Structure 1
Amino acid sequence: MCGIVGIFDRFGRKEIDRDLLGRMNESQHHRGPDEGGLHTEPGLGFGHRRLSIIDLSSGQQPLFNKDKTVVVTYNGEIYNFREIRRDLEALGFEFQTHCDTEVIVYAWEAWGESCVDRFRGMFAFAIWDRPREILFLARDRLGVKPLYYADLPNGQFIFGSELKALLQHPKVPREIDPTAVEDYFAYGYVPDPKSIFSGVRKLAPGFRLRLKRGEPECVPNCYWDVPFAVDTGITEQQAQEELIERLREAVRIRLVADVPLGAFLSGGVDSSAVVAMMASLSGDPVNTCSISFGDPAFDETRYAAMVAERYHTGHRVERVDPDDFSLVDRLADLYDEPYADSSALPTYRVCELARKEVTVALSGDGGDENLAGYRRYRWHVYEERIRSLLPLSVRRPLFGLLGHVYPKVDWAPKIFRAKSTFEALARDSVEGYFHSVSILPDNLREGIFSSAFRRNLQGYSAVDVLHRFAENAPSRHPLSLVQYLDMKTYLPGDILTKVDRASMAHALEVRVPLLDHKLVEWISGLPPEVKLRGQAGKYLFKKSLEPYLPNDTLYRPKMGFAVPLANWFRGPLKQKVRDAVMGSNLAESGVFNMDFLKTMLDQHQAGLRDHSAGLWSLLMYESFLRRHA
């Protein structure tokens, strides 16, 4: 795994500042501590930081073709590179290395922009074709690997794996995008293709971008999407058998490495399934790791131990202090943009633990989105059944009134928190789902923002993000639709961003077999009722895994990394959060209604309301402002 950067003069061949390129590259040293390389020529500069995984003795980047006319800088892994290499050798191409990077160069020469259609893996790369004066960028289909870019007023186009690399460039505009701020306080992250800065973009998952010197166009185009084309001819038994075979293959192709390899084993279904497949494919014990929490409500290590014992893994467990908030100030440096998923803290720790033993780790990320594991999916399907009984013109005033008058009881089980349900039923399908995933609901976002900032938004609302994706969704089935929305927003913007930055901070490569695009395509075509059956999420997945995993692992309530924010903000971080939220950075930004923020703080710290998610998002935004604005 690596870090990439580049500078391209779009309309001329001005000399590239090599020192600037070097600073951009070195800002990502953590992504590739093994080696670094720069290439400059008139009007172009590429940089690369390398974490050596395959072909350790060669494959240094930037890497050229045989006649030095095409060069690539690349982050990721192409798992089917040997198969593609054979095809290219049959076409007459001669290879100098055994790494997957060289395959990208010759695939470009052979197939042009359609080369990405052949790649199976996670990647973000840039190719410079000197004879045609074309710069080509591409990002993998699900967004496992990041790629930022900016089209600068001075005619330069720059890119990098992380935002911090672009911010080394003195010409990058630092103006904050107000719509990105609205998005952040709704979702907890800035969804692709926006960044927090209006002058910087992310290349969206499954998109590519072609720039020809002298031409003004700079518009990415989509080369892949999740199809959700249901196969009605497959039986449930056939689907179970094929799911295991496809999962095993997705794991198998991710076991290629010339460095120590292992897996995260949380004790949940997804990571346990990956470990079970790894064990069936490996002659040696699989290296696995878990972190434990002091709070038994969130500690899954006994379930992880069951799987580790069953498959005789080399298992390592490390205890994490549930009050480990020492990383709070580190997060802004890791994520560059405001990022409010507090599970980034334990994710950082599990990556830190894994790196003590391995350089590559397989994870179970993507299973919930693929196979309908989130509880919110069940609630959404239930709410959709109710919505179908009454038109929106009736539901909006009826349930809107009930939602308004019903008391808010944060402490109660969800079944008794009818206020949120009534509010969701008063909305259309997409708005209802948005209400369920928002960190701060509409009324709180309106409250925290100043009147001047709300005017600056000009009517924009973060729900527009979901509406935009819903318009192009390949399925209108209630379950498939929200799975699709999550794959476009939450998966790349939150889950994969969290893991990429936390793992790269430790020079650890994480591979995600459940997000193999061929597996994702096939799963998306399964009937929705075999993914979510009644109240049982991941129904087919769990049935398929019964021969491989203990029932206690398969059929128990879902758990996950949890951070005791509510207690922190009333205890050890009480003054820290108050200083941040009521301090000068937020006050002087012009974004916030400071009286409302004080009310939130007072209510939370008095124990009257749980505003922990909102306060955490404010704490992370203040930390971002302190470093970058």
Structure 2
Amino acid sequence: MCGILVCINQKSTEHKLFNALDSMRHRGPDDSGFIKKSWFWAGFNRLSILDLSKNGHQPMEGLPGQFILHNGEVYNFKEIRSELQSKGYSFKSNTDTEVIIKAFHAWGNNAFTKFIGMYASVIIDQNTNQVHLFRDKSGVKPLYYFTAPNGEIIIVSEPKALKSLHPLQMNQEKINEILLFRSIVGNATPIKNLHSVLPGENITIKKNGLITKNYFASDKSSLDIQTTKKYDDILTEAENLIISSIKYRLISDVEIGLQLSGGVDSSLIAAIIQTHFKKQELHSFSISFPENKFDESYYQKIVAEKYGITHHNIEFNEEDFINYLNKATWHEDFPIIHPNSLAIMKLTKYAKQYVTVLLSGEGADETFLGYPKYRILAHKNIINLTNKVPGLTKLLPPIGKLKTLKNIISLKGDFSELFIKNSQTILKNMLIDNSDDLVEKRLNYIQTHNLQPETSLPKYDQFTSLIPLLMRFDRMSMSASIEGRVPFCDHRLIEFTNSLPLKYKISRAQLKILLKEIASKYLPHDLIYRPKMGFSLPLEKWMNSTKLTATIDILREPEFLDKNIVNQNMLTQILNTRPYTQDIAENIIWPLLSVELWHRTIIKD
């Protein structure tokens, strides 16, 4: 992992630019470099993973006049390098960076269709006076561009770097969207004039400031459903893709470890590593809490002992939550959607003693359908039947899962409206701005991008809720100068599972059918088929502690209230009603607190 800063049409002083680059030093503590030309300034912080020598120094010049700043990994770079060598290209380093810049010279934007990996790459071409931005197809690595009032266009890995260069303003519509849905659709961000390069997107910025957008990746939402393959063949292909994905993510010149939760996803990664690519010493890391109901250490121990893994358990308690709150807010750049980010930050800080690369099971639920909400898709036939038989809906009692089914049927099968409206948080009634406008905009977005939940709910999640999870892992691992890798977010695996019929992934009784059957070759039955626990903090207990009273009370201060985000009377009533329930702590106090802490840390001068 590395930190990128490029300033087009530079007007900021070099002193400010170096300060901005230094604010991302944690992303690349091993080396730093910059180049300055008449119309751009480019700086880079390097975390050395492949070819630890100075040959990997960046910014790197490929062919004359072409420079690259590359964050992440292209895992199949050796195969592509061989292809380029057959075309007459020579290489000075053993890095994927040099392969990318020369592949771009050979094939242009089409080079990125060949890559397997996670990356955010900036290519500056002085020959055409253009800057090209590329982001990997799954959106694992971050990349942003900021259009400043003075005409500068600034490209960054982390928005915090902008604080050294320009005043920042809150984009309240996007803050409301985060509070309402816990994600953002499109490329806008909580910071005005700051845009994210979307997964699989190529942005071209000309010297004169003109910005154009294209996609080099295939659209994950438009793949044909595979209906002719036999299940055994699908099972074998899926397992081979998982093994290939993990094999690629073991390519490194530094030590590699594993975030081991004890759930089926990370446990399967551990099992495949030690079965197919046996490591004499493999370190794994997990978080535990003093409260037993959140503890999965029993299953972590089973996996570690079975596969000869050196396991480290890191306890995370209330004191840690308080100590890491401001640090994590600074590193996250945006409001922290998931409070367990703080625990991941402590884990990676500890893990840095042993490893520089950390694998995680992130993305498996969105790829193989592991969330309980996906079960409703297994009821489509019943829904279609009841829509054809008038009056049958009335026979369903409005209780539990039948209530959700009844709601869907009453909407005549309109999954989009149901899932979008049901996914709103309880803050919707407190927002001062009309939440209906945000609902309508999201409905329009999923229509435009062919992400209707009735056919594409996992893909909808891959474009929305998965992105903050990947950002969380990137920011928290980078805070400790660790490169986080996510095998289940390999674009080949995502595109394959997206193309499969639902019956191979879920039933009314079972989630993650395909993944669990693969895991049964490697892991105990009780581990695979136990109830899903998730990764939750005991927020209810901690938010009711006197130790956090002063922090929560910033929500009573005019500095927050004057932003007019929520109804003040409703908020005051909730804050005065103690003890807080888990629902209040997680879904009202935490989201508002994270917004205010973010504003004071990132936005405020």
Both proteins in one fold, TM over 0.5: yes
Pairwise CA distance, 1:187: 2.4
- Scaled by the length of structure 2, the TM-score of the pair is 0.92
- Are 1:470 and 1:481, in contact at CA under 8 Å, matched by a contact in 2? no
Query: What's 1:412 paired with?
Result: none
Q: Is the 8 A contact 1:37 1:61 kept in 2?
A: yes
Structure 2: runs of 5+ lacking an equivalent: none
> What code does the residue aligned with 1:258 have?
D
Whole-angstrom distance in 1 between the partners of 2:302 and 2:272: 15
Instruction: Name the structure 2 match of 1:431.
Output: 417
Asked whether 1:360 is paired with 2:357, we answer yes
CA contact (8 A) 2:143 2:157 kept: yes
Is 2:242 the counterpart of 1:247?
yes
Partners of 1:128 and 1:134 within 8 A in 2:
yes
Deviation at 1:42, TM superposition (A): 0.4
Residue 192 of structure 2: aligned partner: 198
1:396-407 equivalent positions in 2, closer than 5 A: none
RMSD: 2.8
Offset from partner CA, 1:324-361 (integer Å, 9 cap, x none): 32222223211122222112122222222322211011
Q: Describe the SS at the equivalent of 2:89.
A: coil
CA spacing shift, 1:384–1:296, aligned 2, 3 Å: farther
State the identity %.
29
Name the CA distance, whole Å, in 1 between partners of 2:568 and 2:453.
42
Q: CA deviation at 1:577?
A: 5.0
The CA deviation at 1:286 is: 2.3
Please name the residue that 2:109 is paired with.
Answer: 113
SS in 1 for 2:534: coil
User: Where does residue 7 of structure 2 map in the other structure?
Assistant: 7
Change (3 A) 1:609 1:473: closer
Aligned pair partner of 1:223 in 214, 217, 221: 217
Write out per-residue CA displacement over residues 462-521 of structure 1, whole angstroms, 9 at most, x where no aligned residue: 4523541343227x673x5110110001111x2101101110000011111111111211
Shift of 1:112: 1.0
Question: What secondary structure, in the 3-state scheme, does the structure 2 residue paired with 1:251 have?
Answer: helix
Q: 2:465 aligns with which of 482, 486, 490?
A: 490
2:500 is aligned to 526
SS of structure 1 residue aligned to 2:418: helix
Match of 2:345 in 1: 348
Distance 1:615 1:153, change over 3 A: same
1:287: which partner in 2?
A: 283
Q: Unpaired segments of 5 or more residues in structure 1?
A: 407-414
In structure 1, the partner of 2:88 is 92
> What is the 5 A alignment of 1:329-478?
329-379=326-376, 381-382=378-379, 385-386=382-383, 389-390=386-387, 416=400, 428-438=414-424, 440-441=425-426, 444-449=427-432, 453-454=433-434, 460-462=437-439, 464-465=441-442, 467-473=444-450, 478=454
Counterpart residue identity of residue 6, structure 1: V
1:542-575 residue CA offsets vs partner (Å, 9 max, x unmatched): 1122121111211100112211222222223552
One-letter amino acid of the structure 2 residue matched with residue 529 of structure 1: K
Report whether the alignment pairs 1:624 with 2:598. yes
- Report if aligned partners of 2:328, 2:345 keep a CA contact under 8 Å in 1: no
Q: CA deviation at 1:617?
A: 0.4
Describe the shift of the 1:329–1:42 C-alpha distance in structure 2 as closer, same or farther (beyond 3 A).
same
Q: Which amino acid aligns with 2:207?
A: R
In structure 2, relative to structure 1, the CA distance for the partners of 1:221 and 1:573 (3 Å cut) is farther
Tell me: CA distance 1:418–1:584, structure 2 relative to 1, closer, same or farther (3 Å).
Answer: farther
Between the aligned partners of 1:114 and 1:431, the Cα distance in structure 2 is 37
- Residue 277 of structure 1 and its aligned partner are, at CA, apart by 1.2
> AA paired with 1:208?
N
User: Which residue in the other structure is 1:313 paired with?
Assistant: 309
Contact 1:6 1:44 in 2 (8 A): yes
Distance in 1 (alpha carbons) for counterparts of 2:453 and 2:596 = 40
Output the CA distance in 2 between the equivalents of 1:157 and 1:2: 20
Distance in 2 separating the partners of 1:292 and 1:214:
53
| Contact 1:207/1:224 (8 A) holds in 2 | no
User: Is 1:179–1:462's contact at 8 Å kept on the other side of the alignment?
Assistant: no
Matched, 1:256 2:251: yes
Are residue 155 (structure 1) and residue 151 (structure 2) matched?
Answer: yes
CA contact (8 A) 1:64 1:72 kept: yes
On the 8 A contact 2:2/2:28 being kept in 1, the answer is yes
1:589 partner SS? coil
